[in-house]
Every structure is written in C-alpha cells, then in structure tokens.
Structure 1
Amino acid sequence: MHLARAMRQALDDAGLTPDDVDVVFADGMGTREHDLLEARALGTVFGDRLARLPVTAPHGLVGRLCAGTPALNVATALLAMRDGVVPPVGNLTDPDPAYGLHLITGGPRRMPVDVAMVNARGYGGFNSCLVLTSTT
C-alpha cells in the first residue's frame, strides 16, 4: 500500500491527521483495478470516516492528462479552497458502491475547504500525495 504510505507521510509532514482533511482529490486513474487500489488505500488511511469524506476526481471532465493530471488537480483544489466549491467526479454517472467512497457526483458541491488532499500515481510505482491547507 504505497499510496497509503504517501498519504500518511503527507499528513505527518503537514502536522495533520486524517480527521483534518475536508476533501480528497483522487488520482482516479479510471480503471477498475487501479481505482480499487486507490479506494483501499484511502480506506487504510481514513478508516470508517471514508464513507463520509467527500472524494472527487474532476479531471474526468477533460480526460486523463497523464503527468498533467496532478497539476490540474492541485490548481482545482486551490480554487475549491478559495471559492468553497468542489467540482464533481468528471463523467461518472453510476458510481460503484463497492468502493465505499463518498463521491461528489452530479454537480459541484458548495462546502468550506480548509484542507485538501491531492493524490497522484503513475505506472511503475510512482505514488505521491500533497496536502494543501488554507492560510485563513
């Protein structure tokens, strides 16, 4: 569970706990196998809270940008923090409940965001996580 380790380390580096996170911007690779692995890693880090923690992957609105996806998600997370609006998972109409995720679907969600987690993965074992915090 390398992604879970990256998430925990990012939280530790930020001096935060999983309970401090308001929203997760998932890597959302878009394949059943990879998305299930990410959902399991999120479950490892967030435990029972995962069922209530908003999760999004808005890059599905424009398509997977490979190495550009994390940058897009960071920019989108910063805008969500500034504007209090989190975009939905892009192009997802029928989420699989087996993942156990509280996905933002159907439209943007108005909510305060002080702490956002952005996950990124790549082929060959690349795993990273960035925790963004509000300055207000």
Structure 2
Amino acid sequence: AEALALADALGPHAARVPVTAPKTGTGRAYCAAPVLDVATAVLAMEHGLIPPTPHVLDVCHDLDLVTGRARPAEPRTALVLARGLMGSNSALVLRRGAVPPEGR
C-alpha cells in the first residue's frame, strides 16, 4: 500500500526517482529508526551512492526501487518517511546545499 501511494504521489516522475527502504536492512530499531533513516539519506547524498533495499525483489513496477546493489547517483534531495510508535508518522525532506568555494 505504501509503495502504491508513493508511486501515486510522484505521478509521472515515479519511474525516474530512485527509492530505497533501509529499514529492511537495519531491522526494527523502534525510536531510533527515523534517526537511522535520516543518517542513511545524508550519507547517500554525501557519498553519491543509494543503498539497496535488501530482501525485496519488486513491490511496485511503477517505482524505481533500488535492489540488489547500491546504485551510484548524485541525489540532491531525499525524502525520509518515518513511522513511529502509536501510529505517528513523519516526513522530512533533505536538500543538499551549495558547496562553498575552496578555502572557505
């Protein structure tokens, strides 16, 4: 259901936006899960490598789900969707800032 909702929200861009779900690799970290997801997104943007979604083959043909191996990319924006205890949900959009000139 989540994959279909995300594909619907992305509309015609769904097939061009790489999607990963690091939680399938880190397991249920309960309250720490959102922090792990944010750290994963920041590291992906910093290193230009989108981690794969382990243990998942394909859940929605409309999405570009990263599976198998990490994928080189230059993501400038990341959307982190986190689900917490007692039904709380949050969404955080991260965007890479401009790189300062050399020597600053």
Q: Same fold (TM over 0.5)?
A: yes
Identity %: 43
TM superposition shift of 1:48: 2.0
TM superposition shift of 1:45: 2.0
User: Take 1:57 and 1:131, find their aligned partners in 2: how far apart are those partners?
Assistant: 15
Superimposed CA distance per residue, residues 85-129 of structure 1 (whole angstroms, 9 cap, x where no aligned partner): 11000222x22345x321000110110011100001235431210
Q: Does 1:109 align with 2:71?
A: yes
The answer for unaligned runs of 5 or more in structure 1 is: 1-35
Secondary structure at 2:28 match in 1? coil
Change (3 A) 1:77 1:121: same
Greater relative contact order (Cα < 8 A, sep 6+): 1
TM superposition shift of 1:60: 1.5
Q: Hey, which of these two has a bigger chunk of helix by percent?
A: 1
Secondary structure at 1:88 match in 2? coil
Q: Does 1:91 align with 2:70?
A: no
Q: Does 1:81 align with 2:45?
A: yes
Match of 2:28 in 1: 64
Q: Which runs of 4+ in 1 moved over 4 A?
A: none
Match of 1:28 in 2: none
Secondary structure at 1:131 match in 2? strand
User: Take 2:58 and 2:40, find their aligned partners in 1: how far apart are those partners?
Assistant: 21
- Give the count of matched residue pairs: 98
Q: Does 1:53 align with 2:27?
A: no
Q: TM-score, normalization: structure 1? A: 0.64
The answer for unaligned runs of 5 or more in structure 2 is: 99-104
User: Take 2:86 and 2:14, find their aligned partners in 1: how far apart are those partners?
Assistant: 27
User: Take 1:41 and 1:96, find their aligned partners in 2: how far apart are those partners?
Assistant: 12
